[in-house]
Chains A and B, each alone.
Chain A
Amino acid sequence: MTRSVSGPSRTLPQYGALAAVLLANWLLFPDFFSIRLQDGRLFGSLIDVLNRGAPVALLAIGMTMVIATRGVDLSVGAVMAISGAVAATLTQAGWGLAPVLAASLAAGLLCGLWNGLLVAVLRIQPIVATLILMVAGRGIAQLVTEGQIVTFTSPGLAFIGSGSFLTVPMPVVITAILLGVTALLVRMTALGLMIEAVGVNRLSSAGAGVNTPVVLIAVYVWCGLCAAVAGLVVAADIRGADANNAGLWLELDAILAVVVGGTSLLGGRFGLLLSVVGALTIQAMNTGILLSGFKPEFNLIVKAGVLMVVLLLQSPTLTLFLPRPANPRPVRAPAKPESPSPSAGA
């Protein structure tokens, strides 16, 4: 969740971008905002954006915290494949819904733990450490499914992907729940503060007594869990597990979503909701391109364009040429207006 510290000024660009994309979609496609109720479930382009954006949004939740610690997790796509494969295979083997979900999420946690140990204990740089599971993970997923595309008919599991709760599609509900739980977890405990502290300055944080290895392991474990949930949603949606293609390249979309959401790749402050907004912005763009009759092929180029613009705005070189963007000070009125800010920058 965004915090009072960040204030509206920091979050405005992200919401603005989403609003602009949605507005553009509406201009191109006047029915964009129309939503209808059918068979107890909502339908419409906007719902579609939410529904299709859910997997990347789920990944982005975990990825946000990893990136906040100055890391990155390349293995989330592969972890999705593993959790989907576990779920589909066990369901096919006749397991009940609860143990299937538990096993599948446990697989994700285990993958996260592996990544976390490599980064925090063996001190392997995150890109390299998670590359291992990115490569081997898909093999493990195929091992689980024995190379088949495992399909299932269990309505219980399928409900997760295509069912609805109070007319809202389940993937959207699940994303909202995971977002809420994660936000509670990091903001109601001190974990959020420690993640940001480690991301900004690992040395200072360790000196202040922050248990940096535990913080690092925690974020990778949580990221693995989020990926497992995303894998479940995708597998449940297609009622099967395709170890080769499930979650393929979604790690890149998740990183993109986090970056568009305004969390710096250099670590520090993070906004979970903003990353979800980033994921939805990307999905809304995809949908818009589809609706506008442009070939979906342009999707990637547009994505690259957005990525470059966002990064250029963060680039140290560019900020030299431009006037300092927003005053880093929050908008809130100073608590002690009588003492002027001695803004020394060294």
Chain B
Amino acid sequence: MIHRFLPLLVTSAVLVVGFLLCAAQFPNFASLRVVGNLLTDNAFLGITAVGMTFVILSGGIDLSVGAVIGFTTVLLAVLIEQGGWHPFSAFAVALAVAGGFGAAMGAVIHVFQMPPFIVTLAGMFVARGLGFVLSTDSIPINHPLYAELGDLALRFDGGGKLTLPALLMLGVVAAAVVCAHWTRFGANLYALGGNRQSAELMGVPVGRTTVAVYALSGLLAGLAGIVFSLYTGAGYSLAATGVELDTITAVVIGGTQLTGGYGYVIGTFIGVLIQGLIQTYITFDGSLSSWWTKIAIGVLLFVFILLQKGLLAVWTGRGGAPAEA
């Protein structure tokens, strides 16, 4: 029983212990303001990571998400500032484009039986390239709605607040948890990641599910792009470079197997928060250098990959004594 949730428990323990250590060192760390900022600063990452979790659960990977975020911010900036569109219509178009882009990649992966790694790598080039073609400059977005949306927040005593990006992320995570565990689509994703052939034999619509999961990942990357443009108030084709790596890292730290089939959305959420926590700690400390973030995350990655390797061996290990029935 504990077995199954062990990666999740370890991840959560790392977060809690980490937070307590931070709080012990810096008296004003344990405040709603810090927590609120942690959520806001990592909102776009969290939203993207949810889509990545789904893709990885299904046995794939999506390297294009960072580029799609960058492209979306530019598209929004161009539509709103140069095209004079209302932000909401621009949002709708951006989501449709990003979702369609993901669906197209999924279709290529399924129809041509090509490795997702390479197809989404090409997708990354295309999305970045399209962003560059739209504009290579950082375009500030000055629409009044952006200021309004930026101010929108649930405020708490002591300066803590849940901004719109933070709320969006929490909403997406909640919806994703429901989707993963209380819908047939979710079960099909896990099935696909477990064993494609068996899944097909058991009646899982493999093609439809593959296209849908990449479409979802694209859609969420688009949403993250919207959040990112709200957060920075600008559109820039080089925005969010390397986010694909950060999200994959969050997914792995969150206890999801990169080979698919095992893992939890909530784990990814915690993985995002751990990365954010490390960054916040380093900011608070002031004397520590930023590169420790990368090294710490690398070490965490290694530890979690080893942990999963061991657990998977236990789960599927049938060599020794028969497991209790």
Chain A residues with a Cβ under 8 A of chain B = 72, 122-125, 127-129, 131-143, 146-147, 243, 252, 255, 259, 265, 295-304, 307-308, 311-312, 315-318
Distance in Å: Cβ of B312 to nearest Cβ of chain A: 11
**Nearest chain B residue, comparing its CB with the CB of A302:** B129
Give chain B residues whose Cβ lies under 8 Å from the Cβ of A295. Answer: 132-133, 136
Given contacts A265-B115, A318-B112, contact A128 B305 (CB under 8 A): yes
Assembled-state Cα–Cα distance A2/B293 (Å): 44
Say whether B118 contacts A304, CB under 8 Å: no
Q: Given A139-B295, A142-B290, A143-B291, is A307 in contact with B118 using a C-beta cutoff of 8 Å?
A: yes
**Nearest-CB distance from A66 to chain B (Å)?**
14
Q: How far is the CA of A138 from the CA of B245 in the complex (A)?
A: 12
Q: Are A307 and B294 in contact (CB under 8 A)?
A: no
Most chain A beta-carbon contacts within 10 A, residue among B112, B132, B291: B291
Which residue of chain B has the shortest Cβ distance to A244 in the bound complex? B291
Cβ-defined contact, A136 with B299, below 8 A: yes
A297 near B133 with CB under 8 A, answer yes
**Which secondary structure dominates where chain A touches chain B?**
helix
Which applies to chain B's interface (DSSP): helix, strand, loop or mixed?
helix
Q: A340–B126 Cα gap in the complex (Å)?
A: 48
A71 → chain B closest CB, angstroms? 12
Q: A315 to B293, Cβ gap below 8 A?
A: no
A-B contact pairs, 29 of them (CB 8 A): A122-B306, A125-B259, A128-B252, A128-B258, A131-B301, A134-B245, A135-B245, A135-B297, A136-B294, A138-B291, A139-B292, A143-B291, A147-B289, A147-B290, A147-B291, A252-B124, A255-B118, A265-B115, A297-B129, A297-B133, A300-B125, A300-B126, A300-B129, A300-B132, A304-B125, A307-B118, A308-B119, A311-B119, A318-B112
Known: A134-B245, A298-B129. A317 touches B289 (CB 8 A): no
Neighbour of A136 across the interface among B128, B133, B259, B297, CB < 8 A: B297
Residues of A within 8 A of B317 (CB): none
The chain A residue with its CB closest to the CB of B249 is A135
* Residues of chain B contacted by A134 (CB below 8 angstroms): 245
Q: Name the interface size band of chain B.
A: 35 or more
CB distance from B130 to the nearest CB of A (A): 7
Measured CB to CB, the nearest residue on chain A to B67 is A300
Contact A298 B114 (CB under 8 A): no
Q: Known: A295-B133, A318-B112. Contact between A127 and B117, CB under 8 A?
A: yes
The CA of A200 and the CA of B183, in the complex, are separated in Å by: 40
Mark each residue of chain B from 100 to 115: 1 if its CB lies under 8 Å from any CB of chain A, else 0: 0000000010011111
Contact B301 A139 (CB under 8 A): no
- Determine if B248 is an interface residue (Cβ-Cβ < 8 Å): yes
Known: A132-B298, A135-B245, A143-B295. A125 touches B258 (CB 8 A): yes
Contacts of A312 in B (CB 8 A): 112, 114
Write the chain A residue with the least CB distance to B135.
Answer: A297
**Chain A: minimal CB distance from B109 (Å):** 10
